[in-house]
Amino acid sequence: MIFTPTALDGVFIVDVQRHEDERGFFARMFCQEEFKAAGLEPTVRQGNLSFNHAAGTLRGMHFQHSPHEETKLVRCTRGAIYDVVVDLREHAPTYLQHVGVRLDADNHRGLYVPRHCAHGYLTLEPGSEVTYLVSEDYTPGSGGGLKFDDPALAIDWPGQVNVVSAQDTAWPLLKR
Which pLDDT value is given to residue 90? 94
Give me the catalytic one of 19, 95, 132, 138.
132
| CATH number for position 148 | 2.60.120.10
Q: For residue 108, is it within any domain? A: yes
Q: For residue 150, is it within any domain? A: yes
Give me the catalytic one of 19, 62, 68, 112.
62
Q: For residue 175, is it within any domain? A: no
How many Å apart are CA 65 and CA 40, to the nearest integer?
Answer: 20
Which pLDDT value is given to residue 175? 85
pTM, entire model? 0.94
The pLDDT tens digits along the chain (176 residues) read 999 999 999 999 999 999 999 999 999 999 999 999 999 999 999 999 999 999 999 999 999 999 999 999 999 999 999 999 999 999 999 999 999 999 999 999 999 999 999 999 999 999 999 999 999 998 999 999 999 999 999 999 999 999 999 999 999 999 86
For residue 13, give its domain range: 2-170
Question: How would you classify the pairing of strands 12-15 and 46-52?
Answer: unpaired
Q: Which residues contact 17 (CB under 8 A, 6 or more apart)?
A: 1, 2, 27, 28
Q: For residue 123, is it within any domain? A: yes
Active site residue 62: yes
Question: How would you classify the pairing of strands 163-164 and 57-64?
Answer: parallel
Q: For residue 109, is it within any domain? A: yes
Q: For residue 176, is it within any domain? A: no
How many Å apart are CA 138 and CA 53, to the nearest integer?
Answer: 24
Q: For residue 110, is it within any domain? A: yes
Q: For residue 112, is it within any domain? A: yes
Active site residue 132: yes
How many Å apart are CA 7 and CA 29, to the nearest integer?
Answer: 22
Angle (CA) 43 7 61, round 5°: 65
Total of domains in the chain? 1
